[in-house]
Amino acid sequence: MEETYLLNVEGVKKKILHGGQGELPKLQDGSKITFHFQTLKDDFERTVIDDSREAGIPMEIIMGKMFKLEIWETLLSSMRVGEVAEFWCDAIHTGMYALVSRGMRRIAEGRDPLEGQKHRCGMGNMFDYHSTGYDDLDELQQTPQPLIFIMELFRVEEPSAYKRDTWAMSKEEKLAAVPVLHSEGNRLVLRKEFGQAAAKYQEAVICLRNLQTKEKPWEDGWLKLEGLVTPLVLNYCQCQLELGEYYEVLEHTTELLQKHNDNAKAYFKRAKAHAAVWNEREAREDFLQVAHLDPSMAAAVKKELKQLGERMRKKHVEDRKRYQGLFQPPSGP
C-alpha cells in the first residue's frame, strides 16, 4: 500500500510509487534537474493535462532561476534519483500552471513560448490575455484547482558538471565566461572556422548585453561592459565578412557606430561590406572616414579604394555590354 507523506509544506502531499537510489541529492542554486512529469486533474477520471513523455524529451529546470512554478523545486528536492512519486498540490501552488504549460506546449510545437506576451511579469500576462490558446488551460486559468503531478527524477547535475546556457549563469559566471569565449573564437579564426568563431563571439556579446541591462546606460558600469562588447562585435563582423554575410555586417557595424561614431575599425568593416554589395558611394564615404579617424590606416584605405574603383569599372563595362545586347535591334532574316 502506498504511503502518503507530508513535505512540511501546506497543501502538498506525496506518495512514492517507485523508490529511488542513494541519498537525497544535495541541490544548490544552479543545479540542473532532469525529469519526466505528468500533470493530472484531481477528478474521478484523473484527466491528463500534460505528459512530457508524449513530447519524447524530458523536462529540465535550473534550481534558483525563478522557474514560474516554484512548487516544482520543492517537490523535486524531496526525490532520489530514479524515484517515481505522485504529488497532490492545492490550488495555492498551481495558479501559474496554465501559463507554464502554455510555454512548454509552444516549445514542443516549435513556436516561441513568449509569442504575443508583453514585457511584464507572468501574473500580469495572465490578466492581460483572456485565452492561452488552449481550452483546457483556459479552464485552469479561470478556475484554479488542485493538481496532481507524477514525476520521475533522472539525474541531478551540479553547476560545474555541465555547460550552462547563458541565461542560467550568474553575473560572476557570465563575466568569467566572456574571456574564455573570446579566446575560443580567436582560436577558431586561426583555423579559418569562421562560422564557429562567430558563434563564440556572439555568445560572449549576449553575456555582456544581459549584464548591461542591469546597469544605467552611459554610466561607469555600463561603459565598462560596452568596452568589452565592442571588440567582440568587430570580431564577429570580421567572421561574417569572411562568410559573405555582408548585410549582417552592415547591420551590426551601423548599430555600433550609432554609439561610437569614432571607431575607425567599424567604419572599415562597414566600408568593406558596402563595397561587396556594390554600394560604391557609401563604401567610399566610409573608407575616407577611416583615413580621417586613423591616419595609420591610410595605406590600407588607398588600396581598398583602388580595388573598389577597378571592380566598379569592370561592373560598368559588363553592364553596358549586357544592356547593349538587350536593346540591339534584331539582325536581318
Residue 150 has, within 13 A of its CA and on its CB side, a CA count of 16
pLDDT above 60 for 229: yes
**Mean pLDDT, residues 328-333 taken together:** 58
pTM to 2 decimals?
0.54
Per-residue pLDDT, 125: 43
Q: pLDDT tens across 286-299, in order?
A: 999 999 999 999 99
Q: Which residue has the higher pLDDT, 273 or 7?
A: 273
Per-residue pLDDT, 119: 39
Q: pLDDT tens across 156-194, in order?
A: 888 665 555 665 567 787 888 899 899 999 999 999 999
Per-residue pLDDT, 7: 76
**CA distances from residue 202 to 89, 118, 195, 285 in whole angstroms, order as listed:** 42, 26, 11, 28
Whole-angstrom distance, CA of residue 285 vs CA of residue 136: 60
Per-residue pLDDT, 123: 41
**CA distances from residue 91 to 15, 18, 69, 138 in whole angstroms, order as listed:** 18, 26, 12, 15
Q: pLDDT tens across 44-60, in order?
A: 999 999 999 987 788 88
Q: What percent of the chain has pLDDT over 70?
A: 85
Could you state, in order of their start, the residue ranges of all structural domains in the chain? 4-157, 171-325
pLDDT above 50 for 104: yes
Burial pattern 90-129, b for ≥16 Cβ within 10 A else e, equals beebbebbbbbbbbbbbeeeeeeeeeebeeeeeeebbeee
Q: What percent of the chain has pLDDT over 90?
A: 52
Assign 66 a pLDDT band (cuts: 50, 70, 90).
low
Considering the domain delimited by 171-325, tell me its CATH architecture: Alpha Horseshoe (1.25)
**4-157, CATH topology level:** Chitinase A; domain 3 (3.10.50)
**Mean pLDDT, residues 311-333 taken together:** 72
CB 202 within 8 A of CB 236: yes
Per-residue pLDDT, 124: 44
Q: pLDDT tens across 209-220, in order?
A: 888 888 888 899
**Mean pLDDT, residues 225-244 taken together:** 95
Q: pLDDT tens across 123-160, in order?
A: 444 344 457 788 899 998 888 899 999 999 998 888 66
Per-residue pLDDT, 121: 43
**Mean pLDDT, residues 12-23 taken together:** 91
Per-residue pLDDT, 174: 83
Per-residue pLDDT, 129: 46
Whole-angstrom distance, CA of residue 25 vs CA of residue 32: 11
Whole-angstrom distance, CA of residue 102 vs CA of residue 114: 9
